[in-house]
């Protein structure tokens, strides 16, 4: 037996009209971009001269370029630091703000502000904080008798950029974890209290298992964002010659496509990055069955 509402008569035409913008955007904006990127990756094209068909040469050349392999290494290191840092920091913020305290709404808003603030503006602020000569951090260190640190130098740049990215992502993760925490029935905690469980025991054996869906979702989103990191790295680490202290894959795509006008190579790198993310997501969803609790 059929259930649910079905559009009748003129309603079907209105359904088509209302869905048309979304369908057109999906076909031309998403599928069209994927098809175009795939076709361009099989050519040698500088956006000026006619494209030359080269087959899979761009993919082969990409895997033999030390610059791309270095960018891939930087991306993996960045993501390995960024993902756990963001998940843990967001969870801690959510736990602290999931309480009945005066002004909790204000604190939640303040924590969420970095997520809706321009990445360029945040990068400029962190660049000032990290500045070697007149930055706030080095000023504080010098006032206490210490030596200034080159925060954006070769040895510290990865950690410094990761911290800036985590700060900008805490708000979004906090909202996700708050939703998970507030969905836990209070009766569970009351029963645990009656059984003599303490705060730490409640967190480990009650809270943590019940928010594993939120942890999984946040890990998934943060991993994708980690592999797509660009704005903070571009603003905080680029040099006068257009290079970067820690070029990641998206920076390499930008550099190939918009500085060297190697659109075929840039498209090939974009597809390789997409394939890596897809494989990782498949691994994540397979692992989800073993540790995420939905009941």
Which of 75-84, 168-177, 189-198 is modeled with the greatest confidence?
75-84
Structure tokens at 78: 């960045």
pLDDT over 90 for what percent of the chain?
Answer: 58
Q: Does the pLDDT of residue 3 top 60, yes or no?
A: no
Can you give the pLDDT at residue 219? 96
Among 25-29, 70-74, 177-181, 210-214, which stretch is predicted with the lowest mean pLDDT? 25-29
CA distance 201 to 194: 13
Find tokens 């909202």 and name the residue: 175
End-to-end CA distance of the chain: 30
pLDDT over 70 for what percent of the chain?
Answer: 96
Q: Does the pLDDT of residue 119 top 80, yes or no?
A: yes
Q: Does the pLDDT of residue 64 top 90, yes or no?
A: yes
Residues 6+ apart with CB under 8 A from 11: none
Output 98 or 158, whichever has higher pLDDT.
158
CA distance 79 to 124: 22
In the three-class reduction of DSSP (H, G, I as helix; E, B as strand; rest coil), residue 99 is classed as: coil
Can you give the pLDDT at residue 1? 46
* 220 contacts 281 by C-beta, under 8 angstroms: yes
Give tens-digit pLDDT for 258-272: 999 999 999 999 999
CA distance 11 to 203: 51
* 168 contacts 119 by C-beta, under 8 angstroms: yes
Q: Does the pLDDT of residue 8 top 80, yes or no?
A: no
Q: Which of 256, 290, 293, 295 is nearest to 273 (CA)?
A: 256
Region 225-252 average pLDDT? 91
Can you give the pLDDT at residue 239? 83
Can you give the pLDDT at residue 269? 97
Question: What integer best gives the mean pLDDT of the chain?
Answer: 89
* 115 contacts 171 by C-beta, under 8 angstroms: yes
Domains present along the chain, CATH in parentheses:
66-291 (1.10.3720.10)
């Amino acid at each position: 037996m059929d259930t649910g509402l079905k559009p009748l008569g003129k309603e079907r035409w209105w359904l088509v009209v209302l869905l048309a913008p979304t369908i057109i955007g999906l076909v031309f904006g998403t599928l069209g971009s994927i098809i175009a990127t795939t076709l361009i990756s099989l050519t040698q094209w500088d956006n000026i001269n006619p494209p030359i068909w080269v087959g899979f040469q761009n993919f082969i050349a990409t895997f033999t370029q030390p610059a791309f392999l270095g960018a891939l290494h930087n991306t993996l290191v960045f993501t390995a630091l960024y993902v756990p840092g963001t998940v843990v920091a967001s969870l801690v913020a959510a736990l602290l703000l999931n309480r009945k305290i005066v002004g909790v709404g204000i604190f939640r808003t303040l924590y969420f502000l970095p997520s809706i603030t321009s990445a360029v503006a945040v990068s400029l602020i962190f660049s000032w904080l990290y500045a070697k000569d007149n930055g706030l951090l080095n000023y504080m260190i010098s006032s206490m008798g210490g030596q200034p640190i080159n925060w954006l130098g070769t040895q510290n740049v990865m950690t410094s950029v990761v911290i800036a990215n985590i700060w900008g992502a805490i708000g979004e993760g906090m909202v996700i974890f708050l939703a998970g925490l507030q969905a836990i029935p209070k009766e569970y905690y009351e029963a645990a209290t009656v059984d003599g469980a303490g705060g730490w025991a409640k967190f480990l054996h009650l809270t943590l298992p019940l928010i594993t869906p939120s942890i999984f979702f946040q890990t998934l989103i943060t991993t994708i964002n980690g592999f797509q990191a660009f704005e903070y790295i571009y603003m905080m680490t680029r040099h006068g010659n257009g290079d970067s202290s820690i070029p990641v894959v998206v920076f390499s795509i930008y550099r190939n496509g918009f500085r060297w006008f190697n659109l075929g190579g840039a498209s090939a790198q974009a597809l390789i990055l997409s394939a890596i993310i897809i494989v990782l997501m498949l691994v994540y969803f397979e692992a989800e069955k073993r540790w995420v609790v939905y009941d």
